[in-house]
Amino acid sequence: DTAVSQTPKYLVTQMGNDKSIKCEQNLGHDTMYWYKQDSKKFLKIMFSYNNKELIINETVPNRFSPKSPDKAHLNLHINSLELGDSAVYFCASSQGFAETQYFGPGTRLLVL
């Protein structure tokens, strides 16, 4: 009965590949987010969706493309992976904008 789940938990891939990370929430929330946590543990917001509509799109390379098929899902597709994309990616959800957010367990991406 995990509230916010992400798959995969670990992702090791070669530079130049394309990969996707999936996120699902069963909290009935209408807003979902993607964050990137770098090696210094800093949490940086990348995207947010409200009712499947893109709301926040921070300065993120257009190799990153989020997709929200419905309110409960927000996936992240990354094209042409680069070494600097190595990080932990967290999905989160909330009811309304930036109210209390609930985070997934993270996807640890390592680009070789």
Partner 1 sequence: GQQLNQSPQSMFIQEGEDVSMNCTSSSIFNTWLWYKQDPGEGPVLLIALYKAGELTSNGRLTAQFGITRKDSFLNISASIPSDVGIYFCAGHKGSARQLTFGSGTQLTVLP
**Does 76 help bind partner 1 (rule: CB under 8 A)?**
no
- CA–CA distance, 7 with 33 (Å, rounded to integer): 15
Instruction: Name the one range near partner 1 by CB under 8 A: 12-20, 64-72, 75-83, 90-98.
Output: 90-98
**Does 103 help bind partner 1 (rule: CB under 8 A)?**
yes
> Which of the residues 45 through 64 are near partner 1 (CB under 8 A)?
45, 48, 55-56, 58
- CA–CA distance, 27 with 15 (Å, rounded to integer): 35
- CA–CA distance, 50 with 68 (Å, rounded to integer): 9
89: Cβ contacts below 8 Å, ≥ 6 apart: 6, 21, 34, 35, 36, 37, 76, 106, 107, 109
Shortest approach of partner 1 to residue 78 CB, angstroms?
19
**Does 1 help bind partner 1 (rule: CB under 8 A)?**
no
Which residue ranges make up the site for partner 1 (CB under 8 A)?
4, 33, 40-43, 45, 48, 55-56, 58, 90, 92, 97-106
